[in-house]
Amino acid sequence: MKRSQILRKAIMARRAVAVPGAHDALSAKVVEKAGFEAVQVSGYGLAGSYLGKPDVGLVRMKDVLDLTWNIAQAVTVPVMADIDTGGGNAVNAAWLTERLIAMGVAGLNIEDQVFPKRCGHMAGKEVISAEEMAGKVRACAAARDRLDKDFVINARTDAFAGLGLDEAIRRCDIYLEAGADLAFIDGIRTKADIEKAVRSIKGPLSVNIMDAVSGMKTELVPIPELRAMGVGRVSIPVASIMVAHKALTEFFAALKASPTGTLPGQTRWVSSFEEYTDFVGLKEYRAMEDEYLPRERVEGKYKGAKKIVG
């Protein structure tokens, strides 16, 4: 079964399928290894990991495609891309959809913010007209219908913050009618708001949650409760980059503060060398060397080294 089919089936079951965000290929592999069914490329995470910048529309779409390709190739589960406002107008959005489908990506998020966009939980957001966004969705849907009918289009509205829940619901229905498969109200506030949106919208709803992160606007509702409501997808978008930032900050602060400049025996900070190399597949590449390189080349290269394959 294609990855887009797997993703579509999970979302349309309206069982609140959890889709954590990943900021790079390594974090995506960790998400998959943990047992999650799908991965969301985090635009917030790409901005932070690739540029060290906030999510305010600074990452070029070419870089988004390149980084998304890396993530999609690193895992076997479905991957959803984040194309922000679609790279321009409806024509640009359609072109990006074509590229993502060709890459084997299973779906995308596109939003109705004014460019340059910003993270949905930041202040100062502005939205384009619902009609203009609907044109972008129609263009993406036409590319989907031509190339991969199972590819999932998640239409996000950021209207809640400035225009309220009713307008956000109205926009969701417009975008679903235009061809989106899933609607997403970013920055929605409360459990009651989510319940109203699920009841009102003529299609599955996506929501964001984030454990233990202060400053997030959406109430932290347990996933089983969201499943009982009939939510289609639950993204956990900023987890990987926030975890990485905290771990790196604490480790290097401790290293700098150490009188010896080292942290001997403090293995809690890091994976072992073998754990990490096993995770990223070093044994498989060594096996390929044994299979395809001349024997004398391999024997000379690894003479005296501990065998790690077989």
Q: What CATH number does residue 210 fall under? A: 3.20.20.60
Q: Which domain holds residue 65?
A: 3-245
Question: How far, in Å, CA of 246 to CA of 100, rounded?
Answer: 31
Q: What percent of the chain has pLDDT over 90?
A: 86
The answer to whether residue 100 is domain-embedded is yes
Q: At 27, is the secondary structure helix, strand, or coil?
A: helix
CA triple 55-97-172, angle to 5 deg: 70
**How many angstroms separate the most distant Cα atoms in the chain?**
72
**pLDDT score for 211:** 63
Question: Do 279 and 171 have their domain in common?
Answer: no
Question: Do 92 and 200 have their domain in common?
Answer: yes
What token pair was written down for 70? Answer: 């890396």
In this predicted structure, the answer to whether residue 212 has a pLDDT above a threshold of 80 is no
Question: Do 159 and 214 have their domain in common?
Answer: yes
**pLDDT score for 310:** 44
The answer to whether residue 251 is domain-embedded is no
The answer to whether residue 136 is domain-embedded is yes
The answer to whether residue 254 is domain-embedded is no
**pLDDT score for 92:** 98
Average the pLDDT over 273-288 and give the result.
Answer: 95
Question: Do 284 and 180 have their domain in common?
Answer: no
In this predicted structure, the answer to whether residue 146 has a pLDDT above a threshold of 60 is yes
Question: Do 214 and 290 have their domain in common?
Answer: no
In this predicted structure, the answer to whether residue 219 has a pLDDT above a threshold of 70 is yes
User: Is the overall model pTM greater than 0.85, yes or no?
Assistant: yes
Mean pLDDT of the residues in the chain: 93
Lowest mean pLDDT among 209-218, 227-236, 278-287: 209-218
Question: Do 80 and 114 have their domain in common?
Answer: yes
| Listed residue (10, 22, 37, 1) closest to 152, CA to CA | 10
Question: Do 57 and 164 have their domain in common?
Answer: yes
User: What domain count does the chain have?
Assistant: 2
Q: What percent of the chain has pLDDT over 70?
A: 95
The answer to whether residue 255 is domain-embedded is no
Residue 106, exposed/middle/buried by CB under 10 A (0-12, 13-18, 19+)? buried
